[in-house]
Structure formats: structure tokens, C-alpha cells
Chain A
Amino acid sequence: MVTGLSMGEGLPEKRDVGDGTVFRTEGLTKVYHMGEVDVQALRGVDMELFSGEMVVLLGPSGSGKSTLLNILGGLDTASGGCVTYRGMDLTKATDKELTQYRRSHVGFVFQFYNLIPSLTALENVTIVTEVSDNPMDPRDALRLVGLSERSDHFPSQLSGGEQQRVAIARAIAKNPSVLLCDEPTGALDSATGVLVLEAIERVNREMGTTTAVITHNSDIAAMADRVMRMSGGMIIEVTVNEHRKPPREIHW
């Protein structure tokens, strides 16, 4: 491997303390070419994500939140600038290396859950643990999100909130070092959304998983250690919460 990004050998340590920086981006840009027009989704993002913290990304639609998260998670590659994960340059990684990176380090939660409809809740978790190096027992993961009893149900037999909790179980079951959530409550009502957020918060708290949550809902920002506001492809403001508000106390 030319890029010097070596993974899968347990390197680097998942619970790196070092300087505590998990992600660092510098002048990160992303341009989508749509025929004639170029869409500038990111216009130079400089940010850091520290080990164990919970960050909420806020911003209007089209501001580039998902784009940023996708690049951090290795789903997409940047057009310019630099993004490192624990000192390794993701911008130079090959497709194969990104796959290995996602497999070893990243857990995703998506707005529309994206469970595999032909697999049960448990199997949806298993399908991920089967390809990770150091997974937890899929049943434990389901227990963590409070769905042990529903493990043999298919997604079509679960409510939206339950599906999203299965998605969280799926994301954490591999013991990822980072958990990236793109509007996890976007399709849910407030009460259900709280359950989902509680699950995320618990993972972050109990397992120390570095967590980034995208939301449109500024109320949710209260549960974060830090809040980043995006607009027009840039981070325009970062605020630090003195203390995190438990999701239970959040209403919208």
C-alpha cells in the first residue's frame, strides 16, 4: 500500500488517546459535477473531532452536512484539502483501503434506517459483525437498544423508531471507534426520536465511541459536547456545551 494507511492489523489503536484528535480536516472541498454545472458542496472545511466526544452538526438543507459526514466515514472522497483519521490521510486512500477503513472503524446510522428488508433484526446486525474484527455479540447490541424481544422480526414488522434502533445496534455492534449518524431522527416523531437519541447517547457514554450526529433540529444540539453549524459548505460556528442535556429532557 502506497498511501501509508495501514489498517486491519489493529493499527492504529482504536482507543487512541494521543492528542485525542480522531478526525482533522484542512481546507476540505467537495465539488459535484452535474453535467454543465459544478455544485460546490464543501468550500474549505476545517474541523476536528476528538476522541470520545459527541458532536452535533446543524445547518440548513444543502449546506453540506451529509457530504462532510460521508467523507469522514469513507463513503465518499474529497475533491481537495485534507482529511485525516488518527493521523492517516483518507484523501489518498484507495477504494480498497476505504472499504477496510469502514469495516474496521466506522459505524453509520442513516435517516431512512436502510435495513436489509429480507433479513431479521438480528440478522441485520449479524451481517455487519460477520465482517468486523472485534464485534460484540449481536444480541448484546440489540439489548443495548432495548430490542432483544424483537430480534427475529423483519424490518417490515417493526415501527420506524424500532427500525432505527436496530440500525443503531447494527452500527455499534462492530465496536466502531466512530459513530456517524445522518439525521437519525429525521423520519421519527419526537417521542420515538428520544428513544433513538438515548441509544446513541448511551453508546457514546458507555463505550466512548466518538459520535457525530447530523440534525435539522437545534433542540437536539443540547445533548452534544460541541455543536457545529454549517452553511454554504463551510463550518460557520462551533459552540461548546458546558454540560450535555440527557435526551430524555429534550422535546420538540
Chain B
Amino acid sequence: MKALNRKLLRNLWEMKAQSLAIAIVIVSGVATFFLSISTMESLKRTQAKFYTDYRFADVFSSLKRAPNALAERIAEIPGVERVDTRVLAEVKLDMPDYADPVTGRLVSVPETEQAELNQLYIAEGRNVQPDRDDEVVVGEAFAEAHQIRPGYSFGAVINGRLKQLRVVGIALSPEYIFQMQAGSIFPDFEHYAVMWMGRTPLGTAYDMDGAFNHVALSVNSEETVEDVIDRLDVLLEPYGGTGAYGRADQVSHRYLSEEFKQLANMATVFPTIFLGVAAFLLNIVVTRLIDTQREQIAVLKAFGYSNRDIGIHYAGLVLAITLVGVAGGIAVGAWLGRGMSNMYMEYYRFPFMDYRLGVATVLEGALIAVASAMAGTLFAVRRAASLSPAVAMRPAPPAVYRESVVERFGLGRFLSPPTRMIARNIERKPVKSLLTVIGIAFACAVLVSGLFFGDAVDYIVEVQFGLAQRDDLTVSFVEPTSDSALYSLRGLQGVERVEPFRSVPATLRFGHRTYRTSIQGVRGGGDLYRLLDNRFQQVELPPRGVVLTDYLAGILRISPGDMLTVEVLEGERPVREVPVAGLVTEFIGASAYMEISALNRLMREGNAVSGAYMATDSNYDPQLYRELHDMPRVAGTTVRKLAIDSFYETMSRQILIFTSIMTALAMSIAFGVVYNSARISLSERSRDLGSLRVLGFTRAEVSYILLGELAILTLVATPVGFALGRGIAGYMTAGMETDLFRIPVVINMDTYAFSAAVVFVAAVASGIVVKLRLDRLDLVEILKTKE
């Protein structure tokens, strides 16, 4: 081995703790990159494979009822490859020994057993026999939530009649990778099921013999999707089509796409922070190293080593540290990526997970890490390379100290000499001090921005269910019903308040912009469903006109006072012009609201209701659930509290894991920054500090001078980190705003407190390590060595 390389290795070994601290920051950066990219790519790959193998459709539409013969005309639409017509039905379930209301969706399985599109992956058991009216296959998520195995039986209210169903298989479908009930804001695997049943019995039960109420198509090229949707809408209009949509608007596909966006977001934000901090640390460490090796550089040059040789030598040192970090990052990233992918499978139900950390990703990550490390040290290394040997031979000029700002303000006399030394030292290297503050601040910011999601979710739940939707349970009717149905609800024991709602699917149009949503008719001045403005004050629903979610108004570029075209997709399908009366703020969805009687007028119908919000006395809940279950008109009941609980239960483990990972990452930064700053200060000032010890200062006093500086920098960094974290959170959420949800930047005190605590712990830990070193300071050795 070349002697110069040996020097490199020994230098690395001498500063192993520092190198390691930096390498760990690089590990964090590279690992988050690998983690997010590999998870994203693995999910995408798995999704693509599942889609292809099980023929996920490209276009979907539901409708009221159409004869099977229409399928042939649909197939004739240019660009359509396969057509799959089916029957979908929402049913109430009767789970044995389980009181909570459970609803489910039944999807028909054709006589051929395997559908043309959206085929089932049978994870356990078998598919249904097409003619059996008592067999079902249930989706895996629900099956797991209720520990259902093949052979299990439960009741279902199918078109008003209670029927015992036997589970013959557990399945996954590309259509329901992510399962969420229409109208929900988060998945609830415990109270909502997706099930499959033979087409014939399901058709018979719902008066769909030889007919269908849902269609899925595949197309031969993506370009034709828009055309196919338009033509399908025309074809289905007479049959009560509610508007066809492509994959982009299919719930399961849509949520997956959003997840990918989030992962891509994470793959840029966090690695940038970590690698930026690592570059800074490498900069200060290498700069210091080069300072201490000036004379060695001079000698090497005197003996004929060229600028290039010296440059490569120090770049090699940086490269070595970086590659250790990259290697660690690969291991940690792959490990976490695999874990995270598997964790995703709790939400996103794939039959398999094809997890891989691709070579291209590894190379990309390594390249980014090396490039940022080199960029961070370019200046220092170039300076070393171009150091003139004659200049390098003489020691660096002594450090220039000045009175600090505090002293210039005349406050110096209030400071003890050690404190004055601290102040002067911070000021002597303002850039280094500033970057140290920023580095520590980033540790804090990583935590704040990583952990605030939990706060934001809490906040959304609080606003949505504390202020807006205040009902205990929502009942939906099988079909729009006269409001006299409310009386039967009011008569139930335990019911304290009932408010009706009417929900009408519609396409909203303004200029050339359209958006498909549903118009919610709610009672003006209602107590159970309140509309809120951006300051969370209740908005009074005007007697006429429509109120839009502000996000929806943004999509349509419409303002209050403009006329909105409403194309109703139900019943007589009226098309009306309605003035926009106001805007409301919501974090979830993009809905439009009207006073219920105004909506009834728009529909030219009587006092029709789609369902009701209810406030109940929880003492009567089990009995109430039962009675609602038995009401033929009631299609389903959603209990807010149960849905929220189930959601949190699914989420808690993820949040815990995510919190631990973020904490570890943030600690790596905090420790890396504080430790390296302290070590460099120690190396720069061991002579001063040693002299002070010789003069009789105690260890504690000397430590104070060194560590006090870091304590001050850490204290300053913490609020900076709070602000920075908030900024990063804002940046990330801005990138994730969609019509599905908007994440508010809400950060709780305890998140700030926790973040600060983690940073302090890391700072104190590194302080202790450095203090141990300081305590062992060999006084004789220090005074002997020349600086």
C-alpha cells in the first residue's frame, strides 16, 4: 500500500469518533433516500405487477341499471379492450358477537368465476361457486380485523332480508388495494368490508337479473382514456350513469398515487437536510485537519508531491468517510425499506411485496452523497492543494480575537473572564458558529417536521369531528326517502337529535373547468353538521345558492357571486345554474353544500333525504345499533367514535415506529454537529485550555469555557429549529395538497418540547464525551507541542 494511503487510513483512525459521527449523519441521509425511493419503487412495481396480472381496469362507472346487452355497445367504443359488467351492493352485516354496526360492499363474481377485469387473488380458501347464494369471499383487511377464516359464517341484510353467508375464501383485488368506504375520511377495516358473491344470486337479490349497475373497462392505450370516458358517459346516461372516471379518480389507485407523492417528497426533503449537515460537518472537520497538517502538506510538496496528489489525498479522506456512510445507509435503508414496505401492506393490500433496493437507486444515492460531501469540502481541499510549500512551512498566523458585541456594549464587566472567552470565541468564527447553530437547528427541525403529522391528524380529527361533524352516528338510507322517515329515527330510544341530509352526485362546471363531487344538502343552522369558515366560525347556510369548500373553489377558479353550473347525475339529471354563496374550509375532500330545502328545490323533489346525522345517548348504543340494523330502509350506519378509534389503532404502531426512526435520525444530526464542533474547539484551544489548567483553573471551569459555547449555540439553535421545522412542514404539506385532503401545519407544544428534549439529550451526551477527553488533557504534552 502506498505510504500516502497509509497516512490517510491512520488519520481516519485517529479521528474515528468524529468520522463515525459524520458517517452516521450520512447514513441517515442516504438511508432516508434509499428507504423512500426503494419503498416507493417496490410499491410501484408490486402495484404494476398486481395490476397487470389481475387486470386492473382503466375506466369505471356506476349506474342505476342497464341490461347486459349494453355491454356489447360499450365494447364497441373505440379503444376499449375488455368490458366487465357487475353488480355492486352496499349491505349491512351482522357479525356474530359483535355489536358495532358493520357495513360492506358486495361485488359480483361472474359465472365464469374469474372476471374479465379486477380479478381476485385468493389468499386463502377458494373462490365462490357462481350459483351459490350463501357463499362469499371476503377482503383480507376485514378478515384480519375480525379474524375470519374460510368456514366462518355471518349474517348480511341483502335487499332487506337477513341471510347467513359462509366465507369460502379470503381475497385481494387490485381494485381494493386500499379499502375505504365512500364518504369516509380514513380507512376503517373493522367496520367496513369488501366481499365478493356469485353474480346470479346477487343479481337476483337486487333485481339485476340480466342487468348490471357497475362497469369496468380496460383500454388499449392510455391516450384513449378521456375519449372512452366521454363516450361511456353518453352511453350510460339513459341508464342513470353517475359519471365515468379513470384510474386517477379511483379511490384505491388515487390513495396509492398520493402515497407515492409523499414518498418522493420524503426522498428529497430529508436526504437534503442530512447530506447538507454532513457536508457542513465534513467541511469543519477537514478544514481543521488541514490546518493541523499544514506542515505535513508543505513537506510532501517539498518532496515533489503535486497539488493534485494533495487534493486527491484529502478528497480521498472525505470519500472514505462518505463511503462508510453510504455503506451503512444501504444496510439501514434496505432494512427500514423492507420493514416500511411490509408496514404499508397493512394499509395497502397487496398479495405480495416485491421489495428490492435497486442498483440504480444505490448508485444514485451514493453519487448524491459523494457529490454533496465533495461540494462541502471543495474549498478546504482546494486550499490544501494550492498551499504554497514555503508558506505552509511557517505556522498559521495566530488567531485574531476582538472584544465581543456584548463587551462593546459595555456589558463586559458583568461577564466573568471565562464567559468573555466564550463570547469572543463565538464571534471569532461567525460563519462556523452560524453553521453550527443551523446544523443543530436542523436536528430539531427534522423532528418537528417529522412528528407534526401526528399533530396534524389529531387536529383534523378535532376540527372535523369536534367542530364540523358533531353527530354520533350517520345513517344512510337505501335510496332517497321522504323526510317522514326521520320520525321513525327520532322515535328510537337513545336518540337525542336527528338532522337530515341529502346527498346528490353532480358534476360542477365553471367555464371549462369541471369537478365531480356530491352536493350535500344539510339543514341550515344545524347543530350536528356545521360548516366552518377559515377561522372555524360556523357559516350560516344561505336559503339559496351553493357553498363550496375553498379548495374546490380554487380548482374551479370560481368566487362567491359567480354562477356555477350543476349537472346532477341522479334521477331526472337536471342541469342548473346556481350562485356561489360562500366558501367553507375543510381539510378533507372537495364538497359543495346547500341548504337541504334549496337542494330539494333544485332537484324538483319533495322533502327527500339521503340519510340523517344523529346525536345519541351512548348508554343505548348497542340497542340502537340493533334497531337501526333491523330497519329495512337503513342501508348502513357509521359510528364516528368507532371509526376514529379503529383508525388510531391502525395508526398507532406506525406512528410509534415513525417517531422512533425520526428520533434516531435527529439524534444522529444533533450528536454529529455538537460532537464535532466540540472536538474541533477542543483541538483548536487545547493549548489555551491547558494553559488555564496550569494556571490553576479547575476542570469544571475549563470545561465551562469549552462546553458553555456549545450550550449557548444549542440554546440559540432550538427556536431556530422550531421555525425551520415549521417551514419544512409547510413545504412538505404544500406539496401534498390535493382534493382528497389538505394537511394543516399544526404543531403541538409537546412536539416542540420533545424535539428540543431530544436535541438537548444528544448535545449533553456529546458534551460529556468531549468533557471526558478534556479531563484527560495531558498538560505537559500540550505545553510541549507547538501549534
| Nearest residue, chain B, Cβ from A70 | B390
B97 located at the interface, meaning its Cβ lies under 8 Å from any Cβ of chain A in the complex = no
The CA of A75 and the CA of B307, in the complex, are separated in Å by 13
In angstroms, Cα B304 to Cα A174, docked, is 11
Which residue of B10, B295, B303 contacts A102 across the interface (Cβ within 8 Å)?
Answer: B303
Tell me if B7 is interfacial: C-beta within 8 Å of chain A: yes
Question: Looking across the interface, which residue of chain B has its beta carbon closest to that of A125?
Answer: B3
Residues from chain A with Cβ under 8 Å of B14 in the complex = 118
Q: How far is the CA of A230 from the CA of B306 in the complex (A)?
A: 32
Structural contact, A100 and B304, CB atoms closer than 8 A: yes
- Distance, CA A171 to CA B304, complexed state (A): 11
Query: A106: which B residues are within 8 A, CB to CB?
Result: 302, 304
A195-214 interface mask toward B, CB cutoff 8 Å, 1 = contact, 0 = none?
Answer: 00000000000000000000
A154 to B306, CA, bound (A): 25
Once the chains bind, are B301 and A102 in contact (CB under 8 Å)?
yes
CA distance A99 to B306 in the complex (A): 6
| Given A75-B393, A123-B3, A126-B3, A132 and B299 contact (CB-CB distance below 8 Å) | no
Q: Which of B300, B303, B307 has the most CB of A within 10 A?
A: B303
> Known interface pairs A75-B390, A95-B307, A116-B296. Does A102 touch B302 (Cβ–Cβ under 8 Å)?
yes
Residue of A nearest to B394 (CB): A66
- What is the CA–CA distance of A116 and B298 in the complex, to the nearest angstrom? 11
Does B388 lie at the interface of the complex (its beta carbon under 8 Å from any beta carbon of A)? yes
Query: Is A85 among interface residues, defined by CB-CB distance under 8 A?
Result: no
Asked whether B7 lies within 8 Å of A110 as measured between CB atoms, the reply is no
Q: Known contacts being A110-B299, A114-B295, is A127 close to B304, with CB within 8 Å?
A: no
Q: Any chain B CB within 8 A of the CB of A76?
A: yes
Q: Report how many residues on chain A are interfacial, defined by Cβ distance under 8 Å.
A: 32
Q: Is B727 an interface residue (CB 8 A)?
A: no
Which chain A residues numbered 45 to 71 have a C-beta less than 8 Å away from chain B?
A: 70
Contact-residue bracket for chain B: 20 to 34
B772 within 8 A of A: no
Q: In the complex, are the beta carbons of A110 and B393 less than 8 A apart?
A: yes
Task: For A102, list chain B residues within 8 Å (CB).
Answer: 301-304
B296 contacts which chain A residues (CB < 8 A)? 114, 116-117
B-contact 0/1 string along A122-142, CB 8 Å cutoff: 011011101110000000000
CB proximity of B65 to chain A, nearest CB, Å: 85
Q: A76 with B388: in contact, given A99-B307, A128-B303, A131-B303 (CB under 8 Å)? A: yes
Asked if B305 is at the interface (CB within 8 A of a chain A CB), the reply is yes
Is residue B311 within 8 Å, beta carbon to beta carbon, of the partner chain? Answer: no
A96 contacts partner chain B, Cβ-Cβ < 8 Å: yes
Quick one: closest A residue to B303, CB to CB?
Answer: A128
User: Taking the complex as formed, is A184 at the interface, i.e. its CB lies under 8 A from any CB of chain B?
Assistant: no
B303 touching A170, Cβ below 8 Å? yes
CA distance A99 to B386 in the complex (A): 12
Docked-complex contact B304 and A99, CB < 8 angstroms: yes
B7 near A127 with CB under 8 A, answer: yes
A103 within 8 A of B: yes
Report chain A residues within 8 Å CB of B123: none
Per the 8 Å Cβ criterion, residues 356-395 of B in contact with A are 388-390, 393
Across the interface, do A108 and B303 meet the contact criterion of CB distance under 8 Å? yes
Given contacts A110-B393, A118-B14, A119-B7, contact A99 B299 (CB under 8 A): no
- Given contacts A75-B301, A100-B304, A114-B295, 12 further A-B pairs with CB under 8 A are A75-B298, A75-B389, A99-B305, A103-B303, A108-B299, A110-B393, A116-B7, A118-B14, A124-B3, A126-B3, A130-B3, A170-B303
Q: Can you offer 26 A-B residue contacts whose CB atoms are under 8 A?
A: A70-B390, A73-B302, A75-B298, A75-B389, A76-B388, A76-B390, A99-B304, A99-B305, A99-B307, A106-B304, A110-B299, A110-B393, A114-B295, A114-B296, A114-B393, A118-B14, A119-B3, A124-B3, A127-B2, A127-B4, A127-B7, A127-B300, A130-B3, A131-B304, A131-B305, A131-B309
Residues of A within 8 A of B (CB): 70, 73, 75-76, 95-96, 99-100, 102-104, 106-108, 110, 112, 114-119, 123-124, 126-128, 130-132, 170, 174
Lowest 6 A-B CB distances belong to which pairs? Answer: A103-B304, A127-B3, A118-B10, A76-B390, A126-B3, A75-B390
